[in-house]
Amino acid sequence: MSRQDQKRNKVTLLDVAKHADVSRATASLVVRKSPLVGAETRERVEAAMRELGYVYNMGAARLRAERSHTIGVVVPNLTNPFFAELLGGMEASVDAAGLVMIIANSGDGPPRQAAVLQRLREHGVDGIILCPAAGTPDDLASKVSDWKLPVVQALRHVTDDIDYAGVDYAAGMEEAVEYLVSLGHQAICFAVHGPVHSAYHERVQGFRESMKRFSLKPDLVIRVPDRVDQIAKEADALFAQGRVPSAVICFNDLVAHGLAAGFYDRGLRIGRDISLIGFDDVADAEAMRPRLTSVSTSPSEIGHNAVALLLERIAQPSLPPRCWISATKLHIRDSCSPLSSS
């Protein structure tokens, strides 16, 4: 906790009342949202609360007193095993803290996300970990501030004003490109899918910039279907318009799984005729044959970080917003080979 925050935590309601030049009783009515206080007085007291940081301490007091020992987690979908691993990491930390976690699926759409957030609030969760749905408006921060409810963004972010636990997607893409370049590859595709959000942009940008750094064509970004069982059929898209990629980096391991099937259907041997790199390094990467080289994003660690941020935010609501970015690590297995051997 910073010195400034420590100071804030000592502010009493009496300080607020003095600062606003009202009685303690009047300040108390404002805090309790009483209709008995006139608009002008309310505004003066609220301004004093803001200036002295008193609102936040009230929130902390309320939470300390009325904690439900339940954490809400909002994820955009559950079909990618990545989310199971992320939630597993969260659960271990939540369990260790003696809490219970409830999960809601936003379906990656802002309207449903708004509905599930509203329910979680009504249900009195102590705090929320939110992987913001694609298209979440950037006024999320001011809304959350109105709620007086601790919220942490995970995996994706829409504002710098709320805690964020994520991973350095761009650095992960750089690792993948560098590795393929070290094997002699130049015609490298990036196969993407799914909704567009901060983690999507960071990956695409990371790919393009790394490719440019090696003076390679940065625009081979090809979209494939969302469902793993549909991707194989669309693997041809990688070879459209005369493209002959010798290596493909995948948006995630799900895409790698689907493309592996598509390459099999085309008679392409992974790790020999074509190199393939996944992203996330979920358990399926180890179970693929040939084993999938993949950029590990350590979903379990991100889950752990998100819970740690939330617990600290609950205990100390006045902390400045923080951003914990995990490093990626390329996990080299058997799905890539030097270009010369193809």
Which residues of the chain form contacts with a second copy (CB under 8 A)?
Answer: 68-70, 72, 77-79, 81, 83-85, 87-88, 91, 95, 100-105, 107, 112, 115-116, 119-120, 122-124, 227-229, 231-232, 257-258, 260-261, 264-265, 283-284, 286-289
| CB of 24 or CB of 291, closer to a second copy | 291
Instruction: Give 121's contacts (C-beta < 8 A, 6+ positions apart).
Output: 128, 147, 149
Q: Half-sphere exposure (CA, 13 Å, Cβ side) for 249? A: 33
| CB of 77 or CB of 186, closer to a second copy | 77
Give me the helices (H) in the chain, please: 3-9, 13-20, 24-31, 39-52, 54-66, 81-96, 110-122, 140-147, 169-182, 198-213, 228-231, 253-265, 283-287, 299-315
Q: How far is the CB of 128 from a second copy (least distance, A)?
A: 12
Give the C-alpha separation, 204 to 109, whole Å: 21
Q: How far is the CB of 176 from a second copy (least distance, A)?
A: 21
Q: How far is the CB of 106 from a second copy (least distance, A)?
A: 10
Q: How far is the CB of 80 from a second copy (least distance, A)?
A: 8
| CB of 26 or CB of 113, closer to a second copy | 113
| CB of 78 or CB of 327, closer to a second copy | 78
Q: How far is the CB of 96 from a second copy (least distance, A)?
A: 13
| CB of 127 or CB of 218, closer to a second copy | 127
Shortest CA distance to 322 belongs to which of 159, 125, 209? Answer: 159
| CB of 178 or CB of 226, closer to a second copy | 226
Chain centroid, CA 25 distance in Å: 43
Q: How far is the CB of 78 from a second copy (least distance, A)?
A: 4
Shortest CA distance to 204 belongs to which of 214, 212, 192? Answer: 192
**Which residue type does 244 have?**
V
Q: How far is the CB of 306 from a second copy (least distance, A)?
A: 16
**Which residue type does 310 have?**
L
SS3 label, residue 340: helix
| CB of 210 or CB of 335, closer to a second copy | 335
- Residue 92 near residue 304 (C-beta atoms within 8 A): yes
Give the C-alpha separation, 82 to 14, whole Å: 50
